[in-house]
Amino acid sequence: MLKLLWKHPQGLLWKEKDSLIKLMRQERTSVYEDYVMLVTQILQNGISAPDDIRSEDREVDRVVAHDSSEYRQLVSQIMDNTSLFSQGGLWHIVLDLVNIVKNYHEISATIFKPMMLHHMSTFDTPLLHLVVFIQNEFEKEVLTDIEERQLQNRILAGLNHPSLTPAQRLFYCHWIESLSNVQLDKHESCIRIKDDQQLVFFPSAFDPIDCQLAKLALLNFCFPSLVKEENGQAAAMLLGGVGYLHKLVWHTGSQRAAKALFRALFSMYRRHCSKSFSQDINRFLRGLISGFPFFIPQALDFIESLREMTPESPVYLEILQLLHQQVINTPQQQAAQYCYFYLQVLKRASLQSEIVPQGTVRFLFYLAENSLSVDEGSWKLGIAILSVCQNILVCHGTRDLYVEMGDLLFYLMTHYRDTDIRDKARFYYMLITSATDEKICMIIQPTTDSHFFHTEAISTLLPNNKAKGHSNVKELEKSILSLEKLKVQAETFLDDQYQDADNTSSSICNLKTYYSVLKKYKTVLKTVHRLRMTGSPQEVLALCVYFEEDPNCQPLKEIRFSKIDAQVNYEFDVDIVPKIPLSTRIVTRCEFVDDNQTFRCQLADTAISTEDLIMPLPIEIVSTGDREKDFHTLWDWMEEDTKKDGSSCVESVTTVQKSLEDFLSSVRPCLKCCQISASAKCVKYGIFLPPSYHLLMKVTSQRDYVVVRLMTDFYQSLLYIREVV
């Protein structure tokens, strides 16, 4: 019945409430709690019912009892017997009774007072939470000021009790905050406790991170705003509470502890904005960044939040200046190791005209000169350097940095490894040599981590000028390009990571070791393709040939051409690494630019046939130069493996209605190169199927046909015999 009420709370069982109340009062067994839960739920549903469930005119939106004294007596009886309820049942009952008391104003909230005073001294977290919940719901209506202070002292006394778990301590912290009714933005509101009780909120070395953060928040609420404090004693106490978090970060480098430290410092500065706070925050950040540069993103977010909160305060610029000075004086080895973190500081610092940029340019020049050793001359490093250069050009101009910035950009455009970076550096170099500072500011915008700026040409921003949709890609129904595969050549070679390993035949003693050696080899189908134009226009730009992913082979690299002429045939190589020896057709497309518009069209599929996958055995197994002995050894191993459960090896026999002579003359060239031996009665073939499969064949002559015995570890290859004969 309770489940029905929870699912359908529209006055169900309201008519039976009097009978249920009577049964509840007569009950003397453990079912009493269930009756009470049912009755309180019925009354609660009646209060919240959308219509008057006892009348037909439906003029009222909730049910009001005819005799409030009857219901006051009912609630009083239930509260007198709370000792009979379990914790779960007590919570359900009290929640319903709280709603009933809120709606029936004739019933005083003091009806909960005996239960609250009884459970005020408990260490049972759910019961104590119930007491705090009722106090928050009715505030001054239940407990007196003295009793409320006793409840607060009780929670303070239990906050650091060793029997409490970290989760329970967090509950205690939340209760104190809710009972005190304090907020960060209300600078004059604070927790009213004695001075000696403030030490309860001082974190200990054994408190978990979450508990330390919660205690620091409460300690922060113990003092009103400290903006005008002269001696800084309260600020020193607050920052002393951060000491354990700071030590935890310093000795472990924990990201979670660092996040908690920044949150604690932010809440303190937000409430107090004291000058002594900003000085100590500078000291904290300087130490953290020197020891753990990977905390720079969190530190930048922290000072950015401080600036948004107090835009008139100089704390943002002061901290950023210190971080900038620390970065440009970093030892070279550390600068190379954490360059991307340091570049984030330089990007922010370069936006401030108060920070001198000469040291920034020297640091950037060092990274540019050593880009190969820092990050192999990557595009990521180059674009990070150019982003700082862009901010300097916009925010500082070139009057005092003409030579230094020119040398840096000239080095990037002539020596940097990445082509795109060289092009961008050439563009910036052109700006500083041929444009004024005002013109540069009109063309480019500063870059930040939190804002995005347009990159449209200036001409598109002029009045009555509408930009063309260059980003749209048009699909061509008929391709103007022809793609043709010219040849395929399979190559097997030892993978680079196994060059120093023992891969000789002496290390092969059974099928398992043979497979382990074979996995160290890589087979590549080297294909040559021809690309030419079959229709207008006469040339296209920025052509890219790309291949869709195929489950039978590894992803193929894109092929790029800066320009394609109609009169020229272009040949290029594509390396295909099979994953499964099955023929397939890889969908091939291309994109190109013509007349400032991007087009896409489909090319002929890149086909991998069965013949392309048939290769001779790539490595020597047990002997040097004796292919037939290797063939028989591998056959015996695979034949023995077929007898094991779960084996992937399969043996099969088929016939071909041809004489042996006709059979030999009809086989494809790819199979001829796999021939191991031939006699008047028998021919043997050893076929390797990349990446690591085999198909062994023994062809025996009969009167007017041949019998073909097949041994393979890839059962789909049994069908190949029909394709190669």
Identify whether residues 414 and 485 lie together within a single domain.
no
What's the average model confidence in pLDDT over 123-141? 88
pLDDT tens-digit series, residues 174-184: 888 888 776 65
Is the pLDDT higher at 129 or at 33? Answer: 129
Per-residue CA distances from 157 to 121, 170, 675 (Å)? 10, 14, 90
Residue-level pLDDT at 55: 47
pLDDT tens-digit series, residues 412-443: 999 998 999 999 999 999 988 888 888 888 88
Q: Quick check: 713 pLDDT over 50?
A: yes
Element of type H or E holding 685:
strand 682-689
What's the average model confidence in pLDDT over 3-10? 56
Identify whether residues 588 and 630 lie together within a single domain.
no
Is residue 419 in a domain? yes
Percent of the chain with pLDDT over 90: 28
Residue-level pLDDT at 591: 92
DSSP codes joined into one string, 93-145: HHHHHHHHHHH-TTS-GGGGHHHHHHHTT---HHHHHHHHHHHHHHGGGTS-H
CA 712 to centroid of chain Cα atoms: 44
Domain-ending residue, one of 430, 457, 484: 457
> Encoding tokens for residue 267?
């809440």
Identify whether residues 496 and 542 lie together within a single domain.
yes
Is residue 540 in a domain? yes
Q: Quick check: 684 pLDDT over 90?
A: yes
Q: Quick check: 11 pLDDT over 60?
A: no
What's the average model confidence in pLDDT over 573-593? 92
Is residue 76 in a domain? no
pLDDT tens-digit series, residues 86-111: 888 888 888 888 888 888 777 888 88
CATH number of the CATH domain containing 643: 3.30.310.10
- Lowest mean pLDDT segment, chosen from 223-232, 305-314, 503-512, 547-556: 223-232
pLDDT tens-digit series, residues 247-300: 888 888 888 999 999 888 888 888 877 676 777 788 888 888 888 888 899 999
* Closest CA relative to residue 668, chosen from 685, 647, 652: 685
Is the pLDDT higher at 251 or at 464? Answer: 251
Residue-level pLDDT at 270: 81
Identify whether residues 351 and 453 lie together within a single domain.
yes
Per-residue pLDDT band for 185 (boundaries 50, 70, 90) equals low
Identify whether residues 597 and 623 lie together within a single domain.
no
Distance between start and end Cα atoms, the chain: 78
Identify whether residues 360 and 391 lie together within a single domain.
yes
Give the number of C-alpha atoms closer than 13 A to the C-alpha of residue 141, restricted to the C-beta side: 16
What's the average model confidence in pLDDT over 567-594? 92
Rounded distance between C-alpha atoms, residue 511 and residue 621, angstroms: 10
Domain-ending residue, one of 611, 634, 655: 611
Rounded distance between C-alpha atoms, residue 131 and residue 124, angstroms: 11
Residue-level pLDDT at 680: 87
What's the average model confidence in pLDDT over 39-50? 69
| Number of C-beta neighbours around residue 478 at 10 A | 8
Rounded distance between C-alpha atoms, residue 576 and residue 644, angstroms: 34
Domain-ending residue, one of 402, 430, 457: 457
Residue-level pLDDT at 710: 92
Rounded distance between C-alpha atoms, residue 659 and residue 702, angstroms: 8
CB-based contacts of 255-259 (< 8 A; 24+ apart in sequence): 255/298, 256/209, 257/209, 258/288, 258/292, 258/295, 258/298, 259/298
Identify whether residues 707 and 603 lie together within a single domain.
no
Per-residue pLDDT band for 711 (boundaries 50, 70, 90) equals very high
Percent of the chain with pLDDT over 70: 86
Identify whether residues 649 and 671 lie together within a single domain.
yes
Residue-level pLDDT at 188: 61
Residue-level pLDDT at 10: 54
Is residue 280 in a domain? no
Per-residue pLDDT band for 361 (boundaries 50, 70, 90) equals very high
Q: Quick check: 587 pLDDT over 90?
A: yes
Residue-level pLDDT at 228: 59
Identify whether residues 622 and 602 lie together within a single domain.
no
Identify whether residues 345 and 433 lie together within a single domain.
yes
Per-residue pLDDT band for 224 (boundaries 50, 70, 90) equals confident
What's the average model confidence in pLDDT over 313-335? 88
Token pair 């990445």: residue: 418
Give the helix ranges, DSSP H, for 253-338.
255-272, 275-291, 296-309, 315-328, 332-337
What's the average model confidence in pLDDT over 682-703? 91
What's the average model confidence in pLDDT over 519-532? 92
Residue-level pLDDT at 327: 92
Per-residue pLDDT band for 57 (boundaries 50, 70, 90) equals very low
Q: Quick check: 62 pLDDT over 60?
A: no
Is residue 120 in a domain? no
pLDDT tens-digit series, residues 370-405: 999 988 889 999 999 999 999 999 999 888 888 899
Residue-level pLDDT at 5: 58
With helix as H, strand as E and coil as C, how does 556-616 read?
Answer: CCCEEEEEEECCCCEEEEEEECECCCCCEEECEEEEEEECCEEEEEECCCEEECHHHHCEE
| Domain membership of residue 366 as a residue range | 340-457
Is residue 296 in a domain? no
Number of domains in the chain: 3
Residue-level pLDDT at 573: 93
Q: Quick check: 143 pLDDT over 60?
A: yes
Is the pLDDT higher at 596 or at 366? Answer: 366
Identify whether residues 584 and 621 lie together within a single domain.
no
Residue-level pLDDT at 362: 93
Is residue 306 in a domain? no
Identify whether residues 606 and 497 lie together within a single domain.
yes
382 class by beta-carbon count within 10 Å (0-12 exposed, 13-18 middle, 19+ buried): buried
Per-residue pLDDT band for 504 (boundaries 50, 70, 90) equals low
Per-residue pLDDT band for 460 (boundaries 50, 70, 90) equals very low
Mean of the per-residue pLDDT values for the chain?
Answer: 83
Is residue 162 in a domain? no
Per-residue CA distances from 562 to 24, 565, 593 (Å)? 88, 10, 10
Is the pLDDT higher at 328 or at 78? Answer: 328
Residue-level pLDDT at 724: 75
| DSSP 8-state code for residue 250 | H
